[in-house]
Amino acid sequence: MKDSKLVIIPTYNEAENITDLIPQVMALGGGFEVLVIDDQSPDGTSALVKGIQSSYPGRVHLRVREGKQGLGTAYIEGFIYALQRGYEYIFEMDADFSHNPKDLVRLFNACSIEGYDMAVGSRYITGVNVVNWPMGRVLMSFFASKYVQFITGIPVKDTTAGFICYRARVLGHIDLEKIKFIGYAFQIEMKFTAWKMGFKVKEVPIIFTDRTKGTSKMSKHIFREAVIGVIYMKLKSLFKPYRKVSQT
Ligand SMILES: Nc1nc2c(ncn2[C@@H]2O[C@H](COP(=O)(O)OP(=O)(O)OP(=O)(O)O)[C@@H](O)[C@H]2O)c(=O)[nH]1
Ligand SMILES: [Mg+2]
């Protein structure tokens, strides 16, 4: 299992994307496996996943949960699944093709060849690399990241990014039960915690493309959670000792 790779893909109504996406990940080479965490999507996403499992024996895994429970808890469940089974490289990726599957290899290389503990697919290394977002959303996302950097001091430009490769030791070191956020705040908290613990985080520039199929699940609640959650997280961190990882 030394180089084993698991790409966790949370889905809610991604029937139009998932059957195109999984074959592209399977075709990358390097033995990527996929774990879809579906929240009983009414559009039948999970049945489609089941339908293609036999084309890739042992490489496409599926967990179906009861009802929509949010992105953060889906990832926590996926992380625990991956750690229990001994995967060494554990990825986060959206199902809607905003993240180019080919970039999985670049994230993997940053960890496996360059030796980073965590690689983040970042939109903001060189300007703003976002395709097809309305200007309002580009600006909101960009300034949201500046806001997070200002409050937390974290040296990561794209703090809300959800395209990530973790070495297993990062997820093993974080107390996953304590991560409670569900939306963008979840993404911020994972990076903040890894950085505070002393893990080496690399930002890999990616081009992020807005979804062309299916519908967005972003909500006012998720936005509010991030704005308030960042301040809460920072204040809490002032009183909480982070268990540092020893870098050797
Ligand atoms: N299992 C599960 N997956 C979810 C949930 N909410 C969102 N997702 C998935 O998480 C990924 C990101 O969600 P998106 O709706 O693309 O959110 P976004 O990227 O902020 O917004 P858009 O790109 O505009 O749609 C997608 O694969 C969704 O299907 C949820 O409650 N449960
Ligand atoms: Mg999306």
Question: Could you give the 3-state DSSP secondary structure of residue 122?
Answer: strand
Structure tokens at 65: 């949960």
Judged by average pLDDT, the poorest of 71-80, 128-137, 226-235 is 128-137
Q: How many angstroms separate the alpha carbon of residue 5 from the centre of ligand 2? A: 22
CA distances from 73 to 37, 97, 185 (A): 10, 21, 12
Helix residue ranges, H only, the chain: 15-26, 45-53, 71-84, 103-112, 135-152, 168-173, 184-196, 220-239
Of ligand 1's listed atoms, the one at least distance from the Cα of 98 is 23
pLDDT digits (tens, 9 = 90+) for 175-215: 999 998 999 999 999 999 999 999 999 999 999 999 999 99
Q: At what angle do helices 15-26 and 45-53 cross, to 10 degrees?
A: 30
End-to-end CA distance of the chain: 22
Fold observed for domain 5-239: Spore Coat Polysaccharide Biosynthesis Protein SpsA; Chain A (3.90.550)
The neighbourhood of ligand 2, an ion, using CB within 5 A, equals: 94, 96, 98
For residue range 51-109, list pLDDT tens digits in order.
999 999 999 999 999 999 999 999 999 999 999 999 999 999 999 999 999 999 999 99
Residue 128 CB: number of other CB atoms within 10 A?
15
pLDDT, average across residues 19-32: 97
From 8, 9, 12, 49, the mutation candidate for ligand 1 (largest count of ligand atoms within 8 A of CB) is 12
- Identify which of 121, 111, 113, 122 has the alpha carbon closest to the alpha carbon of residue 168: 111
Question: Which amino acid is residue 178, in one-letter code?
Answer: K
| Ligand with an atom nearest the CA of residue 21 | 1
Please choose from 39, 94, 158, 187 the residue to mutate so as to test ligand 1's pocket, defined by most ligand atoms within 8 A of CB. Answer: 94
CA of 37 to the centre of ligand 2 (A): 15
Cα 240 to middle of ligand 2, angstroms = 33
pTM, to two decimals:
0.96
For a pLDDT cut of 70, what percent of the chain falls above it? 99
Predicted confidence band at 247 (pLDDT cuts at 50, 70, 90)?
Answer: low
Burial profile 172-206: b = 16 or more Cβ within 10 angstroms, e = fewer: ebbebeebebbbbbbbbbbbbbbbbeebbbbbbbb
Calculate how far, in angstroms, residue 218's C-alpha sits from the geometric centre of ligand 2. 8
Give the closest residue (by CA) to ligand 1 atom 31: 70
In this model, does residue 235 exceed pLDDT 80?
yes
Q: Which ligand is nearest to the CA of 40?
A: 1
pLDDT of residue 35: 98
The residue to which tokens 């075709």 are assigned: 27
Q: CB of 210 within 8 A of CB of 130?
A: yes
What is the average per-residue pLDDT within 112-138?
A: 91
Q: Quote the pLDDT of residue 141.
A: 85
List the residue whose alpha carbon is closest to atom 29 of ligand 1. 11
Residue 55 Cα to chain centre, angstroms: 25
DSSP calls for 148-186: HHHHH--S-S-TT---EEEEHHHHHHS-GGG----SHHH
Q: Which atom of ligand 1 is nearest to the CA of 39?
A: 1
Residues with CB under 6 A from ligand 1: 10-12, 14, 37-39, 68-71, 74, 94-96, 98, 211, 216-218
Q: What pLDDT, on the 0 to 100 scale, is given for residue 1?
A: 66
> What is the number of other CB atoms lying within 10 angstroms of the CB of residue 33?
20
Q: How confident is the model at residue 32 (pLDDT cuts 50, 70, 90)?
A: very high
pLDDT > 60? residue 248: no
